[in-house]
Amino acid sequence: MAAASNFRELEATNRRETVILTAVFILLFGALGFGLDFAARDLYLDNGHLAGFPALTIAALVFGSIQSLVSFYGGSSLVLLSVHARPLTADTPKHQIVLDVINEIAIAARMPAPKPYLMDDPSPNAFATGRDPAHSVICVTQGLVDNMDREELQGVIGHEMSHVADYDIRTMMMIAVMVGGIAMLSDFVYRWMFFGGFGGRGRDRNDRDGNAAALITIAVVILAAVAPIFSQLLAMAVSRQREYLADASSVEFTRNPRALLRALQHIARIESPLKAGTAGTAHLFIVNPREGLKDDNEGFFANLFSSHPPLQKRIERLQAMLGAAGAATMAAEAARGATSGTS
């Protein structure tokens, strides 16, 4: 009952965070549109008062709202399309094992089994996406299927099932799609600037109003440069916070801390980037898909620009959990021995 309560609390927290993150992204869209209105002279200052019609601001807000709806209802399909994933079928014994493990972990988690997908990539990796457990997907790479044994697959699938159970998939899926939208709008700002969109029509204004409008134009150019970076850092920060929790929840689902520990150690030895890894989807995967793990350190800036916490640190935490589980088992066995000795 306590576990169910914790999952309900996590679901409520992630619902709130999804709303907040969506609002932040829409505000970024609106800010870029507001600046574009000044740049295009649709908005202007007249004797210190704002005048004109904010056509581009409205267009940007509408675009951001549509982007959020697309993210919510169709984000998983867009993510799967971007990584060239296809439905996973039982066409080989190894693929059948993956399907069996997904069903087993779903039963253990008391959730509907996510739809299985496969990426034809030799790098061992996996991710989960969707808007809720009833519309969830778990995607594994061919490299994961080929390199992991059943126990290791259980650890990885348990980790991804945790993201499904606590609704991480919704937050991370929406971030993945909306980060792309911010990048696209920022690119539009720069194209507008370079192709003459920042001149043109305007009205006669006094020097003070003209200077203020110029400052706003400069501000939107800076915002266009910073917004994609900010949104990417936001996605990475949210992802890092959730990986440790998903590691722990994998142990809860599999009742085996050794499973995910062995899988992460195995992945660390291979150190191969994913061919279809992109900046917008990197935070979805169980390990960073865009680079090898040789630079996996814990420096401030290294972590700031990483979509995942250091893999070695995750391994150490699982080792500590395995040690604690072993100590608990020994204590239980000792207690049973003492009880049988006195009877």
Catalytic residues: 160
Q: Which residue has the tokens 């920042």?
A: 198
Task: Please state the separation of Cα 204 from the chain's center in Å.
Answer: 48
Q: How far apart are CA 29 and CA 227, in angstroms?
A: 9
Four-point Cα dihedral 183, 185, 190, 192, nearest 10: 160
